[in-house]
Structure 1
Amino acid sequence: MQVVLIKDVDNLGAPDELVTVKNGYARNYLIPQKFAVEANPSNLKQLNERLKVKAKKAAAMLAEINKVIEVLQAEPALKLGAKTGTSGKIFGSVTSLQIARAIREQKGYDIDRKHISIVDEVKELGTYKANIDFGNGNATEVNFEVVGE
């Protein structure tokens, strides 16, 4: 029997997937527990509409991500201020939170700090790189400069 999954089911599939299962499994477990609906013409039409909407949203999100990547890679590099000693070493280190704040203030985009990873440890003044992973294989590298305050 073919069913359209409504919720994620372990070892079976994700929402909005069309899967084939045994009749008893579908009628006694999946459908009563509201994990799936029978794959009749009406439900298949609804599935196709949901998939079209989902694809349209994904395309719009990809366009937005590409726009953000373009802005982040544009010059000039981000500037981060840090308190320094006389030898040019900074007190503490630069974190992904500081980079996220700099992106928000200087480029105008709010990026979650969890998506930012710093390539090298930042302990002194200079230019460094950070990776930003947007998910779904979309990532970019951002240059930032640490300057003394």
Structure 2
Amino acid sequence: MKIVLLQDVKSLGKAGTLVEVSEGYARNFLLPKKLGAAATAENLNTLKLKQANEAKIAAEQLAEAKALAAKIEAGSVTVHIKGGENGKTYGSVSTKELAEAVKEQLGLELDKKKIALAEPIKNFGSYETVVKLHRDVQATLKVNVTEAK
């Protein structure tokens, strides 16, 4: 019996795939638990429309991420932090502070979890950090750390 999976099933596959299973397995397990639906023309058409819609949404998200990456790479952010002697800072610059600086200076909403610092910024100077916007899109954010007065 052919079944369209509505949810991920560990031994069969991911949601939205068409699988061939025994009638008993479909009738006694997949259908009652709403893990799958019979592969009728209506269900196959619904599946096709759903996949097309998901592909369209994914393409839109990718385009938005690329546009945001271009804006991030075009600008730079300056962060002011208290410092001591020899160019050392009191504490370090966090991703939260970087996200707030991007919002203030560039006017872009950025989640602090998307900013990837290779190591904590503990000195004054210029740095480049990676911002992961999408699984296929990364941007480089230029950060200048200066002493607060």
TM-score with structure 2 setting the length:
0.91
Match of residue 94 from structure 2: 95
Inter-partner Cα distance in structure 1 for 2:109 and 2:20: 42
Q: CA RMSD in A?
A: 1.4
Match of residue 113 from structure 2: 114
Runs of 4+ aligned residues of structure 1 deviating over 4 Å after TM superposition are none
List per-residue Cα deviations over 1:26-46 (Å, max 9, x = no partner). 111011100110111010001
Match of residue 79 from structure 1: 78
Instruction: Give 1:84 deviation, angstroms.
Output: 1.0
Match of residue 35 from structure 2: 35
2:69 and 2:133 in contact (8 A); partners too: no
Q: Which amino acid aligns with 2:22?
A: K
Structure 1 window deviating more from structure 2 (42-51 vs 135-144): it is 135-144
Match of residue 105 from structure 1: 104
Quick one: structure 1 residues 22 and 135, their matched pair in 2 at CA, closer, same or farther if it must change by over 3 Å? farther
1:82 and 1:90 in contact (8 A); partners too: yes
Which is strand-richer, 1 or 2?
2
Instruction: Give 1:124 deviation, angstroms.
Output: 1.1
1:120 and 1:129 in contact (8 A); partners too: no
Match of residue 53 from structure 2: 53
Structure 1 stretches of 5 or more lacking a match? none
Equivalent residue pairs, number: 148
Inter-partner Cα distance in structure 2 for 1:116 and 1:20: 43
Task: Report the secondary structure of 2:89's partner residue.
Answer: coil
Identity of aligned residues (%): 33
TM-score with structure 1 setting the length:
0.91
1:119 and 1:129 in contact (8 A); partners too: no
Structure 1 window deviating more from structure 2 (12-21 vs 87-96): it is 12-21
Instruction: Give 1:122 deviation, angstroms.
Output: 1.2
Task: Report the secondary structure of 2:3's partner residue.
Answer: strand
Inter-partner Cα distance in structure 1 for 2:112 and 2:21: 42
